[in-house]
Amino acid sequence: MCAVLVSVYSSAAVMLVHVVSLLCVLGAQAMELHRVTPTTSIKCVNCPSNVPSDAHSAPIVHCLCSSVPDRTVCSWADPPQATPLHYIATYSERQKQPVTRPCVLIPPGAPHSQLNLWHCHLPELKLLTNYILNVTAVYPGGSSSHLSTFMMEDIVKPDPPQAVQVSCQNSRTVQVKWDPPSTWAHIDIFPLKYELLYQWTSRGQLKFNHLGPFKRTSTPVSGLAVGRTYQFQVCAKDSLGLGHCSEWSAPVNITLPLHTHRV
């Protein structure tokens, strides 16, 4: 439709062509932005006709970016029905098909990989770009591909903050401090913000409160009850709000003193 508009107006005024094509670019980008939900397509390629296609399952693949722009990893488990001979993992920019690049495969059990999961690493991705990932499971009698489309912005999820420490300031205030996740490599260019969760039990009921977001890596928390135990956790999120907050950090408990010791 954009192309038609351009050709209709191009003879009338060059300026208008520019305006229309700019709108087309913006329109195309807006459309791309809507196409972020992962889609799964399972198909059996070259299946012998006597083999039901579900005998060749495609893996179910999840992708996460734990450091913008160069740490995106996709992972999947072997399909339960049958173990493939091997996998072929490739990715491409939706606009630049059919130029595909290999997604670097890391087999289960390799150092730093979760048990039983295959991983593949997509070295450097661009923002505002739609990618197509193709993970093909190759079986003796055929193959089956999982296709998903994503933008890096939507799959950003840092690792949790590290070294969370809680110390008493006075009988009702604590100071919470933490370090950014060390895996988030470019914190100067892509800063993080943090959210704080603290929980306590009151008359047998679990209560909680959220604080933040903070750009700094420490905060006082006041208005706490003397003698009560509180559990603190922190999560990290890209400061522009891209993607998701990390998992909560490992809980740290502190019990506020019952008595204040004044001098």
Ligand X SMILES: *[C@@H]1O[C@H](CO)[C@@H](O)[C@H](O)[C@H]1NC(C)=O
Least gap, CB of 16 to ligand X (angstroms)? 38
Structure tokens at 242: 């891209």
Smallest distance, ligand X to C-beta of residue 200, A = 5
Contact, 106 vs 113, CB < 8 A? yes
Closer by beta carbon to ligand X, 177 or else 228: 228
136 binds ligand X (CB under 6 A): yes
Helix or strand holding residue 239 (H, E): none
> What H or E segment, with its residue span, contains residue 26?
helix 14-34
As a whole number of Å, the end-to-end CA separation of the chain is 79
If one asks whether residue 253 binds ligand X (CB under 6 A), the answer comes out as yes
* Residue 233 binding ligand X, by CB under 6 A: no
Within 8 A by CB and 6+ apart from 9, the residues are 16, 17, 20
Instruction: Give whichever of 119 and 146 is closer to ligand X, judged by the CB atom.
Output: 146
Scanning residues 172 to 201, which ones bind ligand X (CB under 6 A)?
199-201
Least spacing, CB of residue 33 vs ligand X, in Å: 22
Count Cβ atoms within 10 A of the Cβ of residue 150 and give its class: 0-12 exposed, 13-18 middle, 19 or more buried: buried
Residue pair 51/141 in contact by the 8 Å Cβ criterion: yes
Residues 63-102 that bind ligand X (CB under 6 A): 88, 90
**Shortest Cβ distance from residue 107 to ligand X (Å)?**
18
Applying CB under 6 A, the residues found at the interface with ligand X are 88, 90, 134, 136, 145, 147, 199-201, 229, 231, 253
